């Protein structure tokens, strides 16, 4: 029987719930597969656990934000 006082129950799930309540898209990556070639639902495009920032997703989101903002002349290459 799993113990109720796990990092998943005390930290991970409350954090996922908080971010979801704030409108963020969330995913539990406990079963994540690594590498760009994976096709399952838990492949975030990371090569290793050490890649904590999903740079491709971040760049896409920032680019879309800038396109919608008043800073249309901003150099997007800086992103």
Q: What is the mean pLDDT, run by run of 10 residues, along the chain of 79 residues?
A: 81 92 86 71 80 85 81 60
pLDDT at 10: 93
Distance CA(72)–CA(67), nearest Å, equals: 6
Distance CA(33)–CA(48), nearest Å, equals: 9
pLDDT at 53: 84
DSSP state letter for 76: G
pLDDT at 66: 82
pLDDT at 8: 87
pLDDT at 22: 95
């Amino acid at each position: 029987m799993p113990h109720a006082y796990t990092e998943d129950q005390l930290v991970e799930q409350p954090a996922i719930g908080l971010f979801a309540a704030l409108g963020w898209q969330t995913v539990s990556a406990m079963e994540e597969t690594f590498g760009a070639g994976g096709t399952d639902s838990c492949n975030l495009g990371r090569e290793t656990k050490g890649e904590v920032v999903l740079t491709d997703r971040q760049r896409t989101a920032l680019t879309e934000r800038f396109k919608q903002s008043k800073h249309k002349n901003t150099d997007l290459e800086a992103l």
